[in-house]
Structure formats: structure tokens, C-alpha cells
Amino acid sequence: MNDAQAQAQIQALFGALRNAAAPEVSEAIETLVRDGTDRELCRVNALTFADKRGLDEEKTISGFLHASRLGLFELNWNVLCPGCGGVLESGQQLRSVNKQSYGCALCACAYEPTLDEMVEVGFTVSPRVRRIAAHDPHSLSPWEYFRQIFWGSGIDLPDDFGNILEEITIDSIELESGEKAQMSVQLPAEFVIVFEPVTHAAHFIDVKGEPTRERQSLSLIYNKMPSHTETTGMQPGPLRLSVENKSDARALPSIWVAGKMLHDLLGKRRPFLTAKRMLSNQTFRDIYRTDTLDVDQGLKITSLTFLFTDLKGSTELYERVGDIVAYDLVREHFRVLNEIVAAQGGAVVKTIGDAVMATFPTPDRALAAALRMRQSVRDLKKDLLIKIGIHEGPCLAVTLNDRLDYFGQTVNIAARVQGLADERAIFATKPVVQHPQVAKLIEQQKLMPTEQLAALRGVSDKMPVFQIP
């Protein structure tokens, strides 16, 4: 395929994107691909992208998902260290996240993966659309490797990032596969880290005591095997560091002063698109319906909000107006509910008869959707009433019946709470009502919830449930 044919094909893909995404979002994505720097096209943070351009977040996420489906971008799932924000593992499918724990050498900690804040979703331009340096990470300069490959999009790295790293770096070196080298440095009376980002290896040096003129020595080997972070005590003075790269890729060992400057650099965070939020996005569920998790995978989410609905009196409706009219009404009710859920950044997990199970990243989005659902169904037909229950808590993301689903007591409680609801009331549990944004919404709407203790099947003790009129 010659250049003219390739460009025509790319323009056809952008045409398809304009048909699938909001006009302002498709235009912004096309401009990014055409005019953006290489750095801007690597692991795009969809939330930051939307914020800088004044775009709606949900429409922007949807736009990048459609762009990925068309082959304009590649979708990346990155496991992040909660401490330093470093990428511990990266893959193009969520099914690659399947470990009991991930260790971060830089933080010397191990973390059990959760989809809330430990897995980010980024978008990198496809090499078939535009080649960027990050498609060959080992062509990047060491500082750009740290910026674009090692740290995730939730770290808000400043424009003078390279200058800051230069200030905290005592020395650094590039080692090709199989190479050895020696670094001769003066150790300050500081806590020092020898960090290698490609193999994710770290060695701490606790430098204290009386300065010495005698040369101290340390040898480090980098390979594919995960290494335990060790600490060596040394005195201020000369150090000969011998390093050997036994891995099959370039290594980038750097000697850093682990002081306030490094701490401040890693403390600057910004919101990023989490896997939890992605799984609760309707566009994602529609596009990646059966290609998300392995059957036996099961990944933890520490907080997800569930909303269950059911039509009250639907059986009587069929008898009163006839099958055809009732069916059309019920189908229209599903369409309205789907639109409301998607507008609030949620996703419909499944329908069961006349009932809907939906998820939202936060309780306030679920309550806002519930209030709209209640009014919209009433507007659809005055005697068509909907029962709604909301609960928030931890759960497992699983694959059931070839579909992304959720498992756990939180799901069970949400379904039971919906069963308590009468004709027009919304029932919600205490974690939902006490959420700060929900409390604000309740106050704005002047809703005045009433509390009651309810016995729920499968729950040993009665629990407080709030009726929202």
C-alpha cells in the first residue's frame, strides 16, 4: 500500500469516527492525531484530554473507545503502584491483570490489584496511523522513558520534569543487553536509590555516619527475574557501582537522592480513567461485550454502586392494554433507562424480565439516574411505575454466561433493597445516602429521606435503609 492509499484509508477511519462519536470529540481526536506531539499521543489520559479542551468526559471516553474499535488507537490497561504511580504491568487486554499481588521495587511494597485506583486505561495512537517514539520504547531518552513508559497518566509531571530529574540524579547510564559498566560517584549523606525502570529493580543505600575517603563498592545485576529490594548501609564518600545488564533489553540505572524533591514530584497527581469506571461505561460494554475477563479471573473492586429497577404491575399492564401495546411500552422503558444510565456515566449490566441491573462509579451518579428514571417512566405512562434500589460496596468483576458481570454481597443487597421499594419511592442504603455528593444532591432536591431498619434475605442482621420520596 502506497502513502496515498494509506492516507485515504486513515481518512476513511476518521469519517467512521465522526459517525460514531460526538462531533466535538471526533474533531478533537483527529486534531490530536494530526498535530499532537509524540508525547501527547502516548497513553492519552482521556479525563485530562477532556478537561483541557472543555469536552464532556463521558462523550470523550466514548470517542476514544470508538477510535480504538476502528483501529485509530490502541487501548492500554496499566497496573499502577498506588505509592509512586509507576506502571507495574501493561497490556492491551484486562485479562492480563491476574495476580494476587504486584510488587513495586521503588516503593518496596506489594499491592493486591483492584480495579478502582490500581488499573488505568490509556489510549496510544496506532502505529498504522502514526508512528511515535513510544512504539519503540528503547529509542526514547532515559527521561522520556520515565515520563512516557514508566509513570502512569495519573502522575502530573511538570514541563521541566527532565530538569528536576537531573537535580536529584547523582549519575545515570544506559546499558545495552549484555553490557557491563562501572559508575564512580560521591555519596552524599542522604538516602539514595539506585533504580532501573525497565526491569523495575531498586537498591537502597542508607548513607550516614562519618565521611570516608576509602572507596566503597556495590555490584548490581539486572535480569528478567523479579528482585527483592535491598538496603545497604554506607558512609558519605566515594562509591564504585558495578552494573551488569543480563536482560534482553536496554537498562537505564540511575542513582537518585530520595529527598523532598523526589517526594514532591511523585505527589503531584491528577484524575485518570480507572478500569472500574471503564467497566461501568455503556460504550465499553457494547463494544467489548465478550472480550474483557477470563472466566476464572475475578478482579476486586473496592467500591461500586449498583442500581436495580423493576416495573410494578407489569403483568397487570399486559392484561389491561394487550400484549402488543404493553410490549412496546416496556421496550420504550428499557430504551429510556439505557439512555439515562449512559448519561450518568453508568452501564446496564443486564436485564432480567422487566428489571434492570446497572452499575455506576459513584453513588451520586446512581441517585441522579434514579431520580430521572422515576420521572421519565411516569412521563411515559402515568400508571407505569418503577421500583428502584441502590447500594454501594465492594465486589468482584467476573465473566458469567459470556458476559461481564459482578458477584458478591453488595450485589445481593442492592437487589434485596430494590424489593423493598414501593410505587414511587427510591430505596438506598446508608453508604449511598451518606456519600458527600449524594447528601448534596438530596439537599438540593429537598428530598428528605426517611430511615427504617429492614430485614434482607441473605443478610444476618437488619440494616438501615432510606426511603427517598
Residue pLDDT, tens place only, 307-322: 999 887 666 666 666 6
β-bridge pairing 237-245 and 216-222: parallel
* Polymer length of the chain: 469
Specify the DSSP class assigned to residue 277: H
Q: What is the pLDDT at residue 423? A: 66
pLDDT at 25 over 90: yes
Q: Where in the chain is the domain with CATH 3.30.70.1230?
A: 291-468
Report the distance separating Cα 120 and Cα 36, nearest Å: 22
Specify the DSSP class assigned to residue 353: T
Q: What is the pLDDT at residue 380? A: 76
Burial code (b: 16+ CB inside 10 Å, e: under 16) for 128-139 equals ebeebbbbebee
pTM of the model: 0.89
Could you give the percent of the chain with pLDDT greater than 70? Answer: 94
pLDDT tens, residue by residue, 59-102 = 999 999 999 999 999 999 999 999 999 999 998 888 878 777 89
Where are the strands (E) in 248-298, listed by range? 254-257
> Which ranges of 21-84 would DSSP assign to H, the alpha helix?
23-35, 46-53, 57-70
Q: What is the pLDDT at residue 429? A: 95
User: CA of 49: how far to CAs of 32, 64, 91, 273, 439, in Å?
Assistant: 10, 10, 21, 11, 30
Q: Which residues contact 463 (CB under 8 A, 6 or more apart)?
A: 413, 429, 430, 453, 454, 456
Of the candidate ranges 45-49, 331-335, 455-459, the one whose mean pLDDT is the lowest: 455-459
Asked whether 211 and 275 are in contact (CB, 8 A), the reply is: no
Question: 385 or 433, which is more confident?
Answer: 433
Cell numbers describing residue 279: 467497566
Of the candidate ranges 40-54, 310-324, 340-354, 436-450, the one whose mean pLDDT is the lowest: 310-324
Q: What is the pLDDT at residue 299? A: 85
- Assign 395 to helix, strand or coil: strand
**pLDDT range class, residue 294, cuts 50, 70, 90:** low
Q: What is the pLDDT at residue 329? A: 78
Q: Does domain 291-468 have CATH number 3.30.930.10?
A: no
Least Cα distance to 69 among 240, 287, 263 occurs for 287
Question: 303 or 421, which is more confident?
Answer: 303
pLDDT tens, residue by residue, 438-464 = 999 999 999 999 999 888 887 878 899
Q: What is the pLDDT at residue 224? A: 80
pLDDT at 414 over 90: yes
pLDDT tens, residue by residue, 206-245 = 999 999 999 999 999 999 877 778 999 999 999 999 999 9
Hunting for cell 411515559 — which residue is that? 380
Burial environment of residue 260 by CB neighbours within 10 A (0 to 12, 13 to 18, 19 or more): exposed
Burial environment of residue 232 by CB neighbours within 10 A (0 to 12, 13 to 18, 19 or more): middle
Q: What is the pLDDT at residue 389? A: 95
pLDDT tens, residue by residue, 99-143 = 778 999 999 998 988 998 899 999 999 999 999 999 999 999 999
Q: What is the pLDDT at residue 428? A: 96
Q: What is the pLDDT at residue 331? A: 84
Q: What is the pLDDT at residue 459? A: 80
Q: What is the pLDDT at residue 242? A: 97
The dihedral formed by the CA atoms of 336, 339, 340 and 343, expressed in degrees to the nearest 10? -170
Q: What's the rounded mean pLDDT across residues 5-23?
A: 92
Q: What angle do CA 70, 74, 78 make, to 5 degrees?
A: 145
**pLDDT range class, residue 295, cuts 50, 70, 90:** low
Residue type (1 letter), 389: G
Q: What is the pLDDT at residue 440? A: 94
Q: What is the pLDDT at residue 92? A: 85
pLDDT at 162 over 70: yes
Report the distance separating Cα 268 and Cα 253, nearest Å: 23
The dihedral formed by the CA atoms of 134, 140, 145 and 147, expressed in degrees to the nearest 10? -70
- Assign 166 to helix, strand or coil: helix
Residue type (1 letter), 455: A
Half-sphere exposure of 329 (CA within 13 A, CB side): 24
Q: What is the pLDDT at residue 60? A: 97
